Structure 1
Amino acid sequence: MAGPGDKLSFEQDIRPLFRQKDRDAMLAAFDLFDYEDVVEKADAIVGSLRSGQMPCDGAWPAEQVDKLQQWIDAGTPA
């Protein structure tokens, strides 16, 4: 996970968290590989990850969820 001084970016840090099968499953609603879509749905995505609703084949490790939350808290930098 990035430290307090490290900056997360969508392309390098967040997009790789989502697998092709995750994208395919959600594509009817939004695109997990698209920055604008993920920013728009960021709170719902992290909420679904924390509740275990996403992904459907098993929970993310806490470190990955925390990384996504850290990116959101940092203002969703591109």
Structure 2
Amino acid sequence: MTIENEPSAVPVSFERNIRPLFRAFDRDSMTKAFDLWSYTDVVSHQEAILDHLVAGSMPCDGAWPAEQVELVRQWIAAGSPA
């Protein structure tokens, strides 16, 4: 368990931590707008994605747990590493 004020031993990255959060169903639902499995696409839309995650309107079948939303927030704050 990581203590909130203690930096994580392994930095959050798109490939290791963020991309796996998006299921094939989520990707298929968003394909017309952008690809949730594409680092470039997600970085280009990261603020809008975060806004929808916080609001609970994404994914379309139910809100993510707060821990997952916070992971996305941390990833963005860290500069969105690949």
**Structure-1-length-normalised TM-score:** 0.93
Give the gaps of 5 or more residues in structure 1.
none
Number of corresponding residues: 78
C-alpha separation between the residues in 2 aligned to 1:9 and 1:63? 15
Superposition RMSD on alpha carbons, in Å? 1.5
Q: Which runs of 4+ in 1 moved over 4 A?
A: none
Give aligned-pair identity as a percent.
59
In the TM superposition, what whole-angstrom CA distance separates every residue of 1:8-60 from its partner, at most 9, and x where no partner exists? 11111000000000000001000000000000000000100111111111110
Larger Rg: 2
Matched, 1:37 2:41: yes
- Deviation of the 1:74 alpha carbon: 0.3
Q: Report the Cα distance in structure 2 between the residues aligned to 1:4 and 1:26, rounded to whole angstroms.
A: 33
TM-score of the aligned structures, taking structure 2 as reference length: 0.89
**Partner in structure 2 of residue 4 of structure 1:** 7
Structure 2, unmatched stretches of 5+, are none
